[in-house]
Structure 1
Amino acid sequence: MTDAQATTRPPSLLALYDPQWEANPYPLYRQLRSGGAVGWDEWMRTWLVLGYDEIVSLSKDDRVTGARIESFYAQLPAAAQAEIAPLKSALADMMLFNEPPRHTRLRQLIKPGLTPRFIRQLRPLVEEIADELLDQVVPSGRMDVIRDFSEPLTRRVVGRLAGVPDHALHLLRDWPGLLHEFFTQSRKAVPRLTALRAVFDADIEARRAGDAQDLFSEMIAGQLARADYTDEEIFANFLLLIDAGQATTTHLIGNAVLALVDHPDEQRRLREQPELSAGAAHEFLRYDSPVQFTSRVALDDIEIAGCHIRQGDSVTLVLGSGNRDPEHYADPDRLDVTRRAADQLSFGHGIHYCLGAALAVTEIDVGLAALLRRAGDLRLVDAKPDWLESVNFRFLQRLPITFTPLG
């Protein structure tokens, strides 16, 4: 990094903890990008990758790795390690935090169940659940989008997909992002994981024998017959399915509804042209993704955007910045439900492209279409939305709205 870049770049991504950026971090990203597409963050001790093209390039570069669970865990004090050991074990066996060849092997376990064709079979279920939930709140003309709609919608869909029996669905309620829990060294999720492991173990033999009837068993049956996966690997990726399909998608829908409240013209356009909703799902992901950045570690020296990243350096791909990069998207701070944004960064790129992308798009598409069909003139109850205190996760804690019942 040059001296000029050092003086023009704001001090750190940690500035996101400042209340002025909580509601809208994107002006901060714009300031950060003014110092260059890539730059060193002295406070966080990481390279910030802020430009769209640079994020895509490094997402596909095998000189950086996302296998960072073990290294973070190793630097914790022994007492902290003991408290979050079950969380660490689960994350370390997820495909997301492994590289080839193990990543390839783990990805194959559930890939057959997350193809667009398989997900299309789930669409009637998503539609049914969305309408059931709206039946309960539409007559009153008010609801909390998170509590009354997006969270129970994604919980019930992913519960069906993951094969969680009805008696255990309460374990998925208000699902915490497991990565957030791990990096904040929280043990709140550990009892939940222990209980879910008991549910999982009750069915594992039937799954291995091919006798289980749930969708998760159907999804992995072919791979269990061909490859030797441990129970721990299967459980970890069972959790990944829940984690990605529950917490992230809940807040994709919440953030999209907030964006529509803030943009009544786009709300009206989408209500009048519901056929736009599938494509608009990508625009909502681009405009305000629930996951703002992802971390990597350099395995070799890398030259990019005039910067020299050294082997062992931390690299942070700031997806929220790349999604608003004016070098890639025209007028990037404007929400446009007609924009073609299927190349947005929120699902990742390369081998770590999100396997659950088709399911997430389906749930946003169906959920928003159902809401706009049955609720008019969406308005906020509270002027200031309640965000999770995090520099990475754009999670709304609650989103109370009022509306005019339709139909």
Structure 2
Amino acid sequence: MNLWAPLDPKNIQDPFPMYAVLRQKAPIYKSQTGEWIISRYADVKEILKDPDFKSGNKLEWINRGITYFKNKGEDLSHIAVAINSFLLLINPPEHTRIRKFINSVWDNKEVDQLILENIDTLLNTKKRFKTIDIVDDFAKPLPNMTICKIMGISISHYERLSVLSNNLVKVLNLYNSFKDLVRIDAAAQSLISLFKELLETKKNNPGNDLISKLITGNDGEPEPLSDEALISIFIFLFIAGQETTIGLISTGLLHLSQHPDQLKELIRKPELAPRAVDELLRYDGPVHLLGRIAARDTQFDGQHIREGDAVTLCLASANRDDQYFENPDLLDISRHPNRHIAFGSGIHFCLGDWLAKRQGTLAIGKFIEIYPKYHIPDQTPQWNDNLSIRTIRHLSCSI
């Protein structure tokens, strides 16, 4: 019996029964595609924090694919250039250097005000409507508008950038077809061109935005990063929080509507919003799967994982582990403590977790404040065909 079927439509719609079976019957499971599937909280967290499990081989896989298709007359090299400095795909010492560099110039001052202004802009335009699409009208544009302001990108570009980033982020899917790679490469080429132009503009006329700070900070580094590496960092920072924040807001509002007792409690006690967001992240966070590569032979629960083996970590399964969380299938916005691993753990812990959580907290809080009686008629929405980062395609809502 195949216990791992991430592309099965029923598991895309609801993967939690599959996760539960894995935790119970085969928590360290060798899949038909060759990778190990890790589903228990303790095992997932141990591997996330173990330096002998390296970040996944996506860059290596992409480079092999580029070489293969180049021999067939297809140039997909823009993908590798675009993602070459993505923190979630690289390992120390390069990972340590780039993460330290970004943290040295990126602060969270005045971010709340930016987010609230964007929320007001989006919701005020919908006040005369009876229905909205939570994904298209609210959850999707909000993180894009916010990161545009933080990075110093003209807000007029955000719709085009949103489409491009949505296409490029598909490179993180578990499996990609040739047609997928062609679309991803086209998006990568456009993003490289756009951010190269921004790099040159801000070199000559720096401001107080994140791109300018990265350029200025890089000039002061003992060994400055190349322009190509800087552009990859810009792309990473722009897209890193897009899909996750979209998923947090839209999935969060869906689950609150499915649990009216919890929604009423949050409306009654808005100060619970930060705890509510942590619980929504635990209950059904947007990042379900992460990849790692074993750098050594190791034993887990009687299974021998060999050096070079691919390992898929089921974060969403770990966050429903009844060995760690009481009543894990129950949504409880007052849950405390709540040591979920929705943003990972260890050195690859999500760089922008604070920004995603602030946007989620402010967006969900403001939405239910303005629309306390919102209603989502379709409680079984269509999900995007990607279990790694699980998001809803559309979510119509009566307000």
TM-score, with length taken from structure 1:
0.89
1:266 corresponds to: 262
Aligned-partner Cα distance in 1 for 2:285–2:212: 31
1:200 corresponds to: 195
Shift of 1:197: 2.5
Give deviations 1:251-279, integer Å, cap 9, x for gaps: 11111011111111111111111111112
Q: Does 1:34 align with 2:34?
A: no
Aligned-partner Cα distance in 2 for 1:318–1:139: 42
Worse overlay, 137-146 or 208-217: 208-217
The alignment yields a C-alpha RMSD, in angstroms, of 2.2
1:3 corresponds to: none
Shift of 1:34: 0.9
Shift of 1:206: 5.5
Shift of 1:137: 1.5
Shift of 1:89: 2.2
Aligned-partner Cα distance in 2 for 1:244–1:313: 26
Alignment equivalent of 2:43, drawn from 47, 50, 54: 54
One-letter identity of the residue aligned with 1:98? I
Judged with a 3 Å threshold, the aligned counterparts in structure 2 of structure 1 residues 393 and 344 are, in CA distance, closer, same or farther, namely: same
Give deviations 1:216-258, integer Å, cap 9, x for gaps: 3235633441241111111111111111121221111111011
Q: Does 1:134 align with 2:126?
A: no
Give deviations 1:92-139, integer Å, cap 9, x for gaps: 32122111111111112312355xxx3242101101111121112233
1:63 corresponds to: 52
Instruction: After TM superposition, list the pairs within 5 Å mapping 1:2-401 onto structure 2.
Output: 10-14=1-5, 16-41=6-31, 43-76=32-65, 77-79=68-70, 82-114=74-106, 118-174=107-163, 175-176=165-166, 178-181=168-171, 183-185=175-177, 186=180, 187-205=182-200, 207-208=202-203, 211-218=206-213, 221-226=216-221, 227-340=223-336, 342-401=338-397
One-letter identity of the residue aligned with 2:248? L
8 Å contact 2:168–2:188 — kept in the other structure? no
One-letter identity of the residue aligned with 1:317? L
Shift of 1:209: 6.5
Q: 3-state DSSP class of the match of 1:391?
A: coil
One-letter identity of the residue aligned with 2:20? R
Structure 2: any 5+ residue segments left out of the alignment? none
Judged with a 3 Å threshold, the aligned counterparts in structure 2 of structure 1 residues 359 and 177 are, in CA distance, closer, same or farther, namely: farther
TM-score, with length taken from structure 2:
0.91
Judged with a 3 Å threshold, the aligned counterparts in structure 2 of structure 1 residues 191 and 75 are, in CA distance, closer, same or farther, namely: closer
8 Å contact 1:171–1:192 — kept in the other structure? no
Judged with a 3 Å threshold, the aligned counterparts in structure 2 of structure 1 residues 141 and 272 are, in CA distance, closer, same or farther, namely: farther
Q: Percent identity?
A: 27
Judged with a 3 Å threshold, the aligned counterparts in structure 2 of structure 1 residues 163 and 197 are, in CA distance, closer, same or farther, namely: farther
Aligned-partner Cα distance in 2 for 1:333–1:170: 36
Worse overlay, 170-179 or 282-291: 170-179
Aligned-partner Cα distance in 2 for 1:81–1:338: 57
One-letter identity of the residue aligned with 1:266? Q
Worse overlay, 143-152 or 304-313: 304-313
Give deviations 1:276-295, integer Å, cap 9, x for gaps: 11122111111112121111
Aligned-partner Cα distance in 2 for 1:27–1:63: 30
Shift of 1:165: 2.1
Aligned-partner Cα distance in 2 for 1:399–1:328: 32
Q: 3-state DSSP class of the match of 1:44?
A: coil
8 Å contact 1:59–1:349 — kept in the other structure? yes
8 Å contact 1:283–1:341 — kept in the other structure? no
Aligned-partner Cα distance in 2 for 1:213–1:199: 19
Judged with a 3 Å threshold, the aligned counterparts in structure 2 of structure 1 residues 91 and 125 are, in CA distance, closer, same or farther, namely: same
Aligned-partner Cα distance in 1 for 2:210–2:395: 32
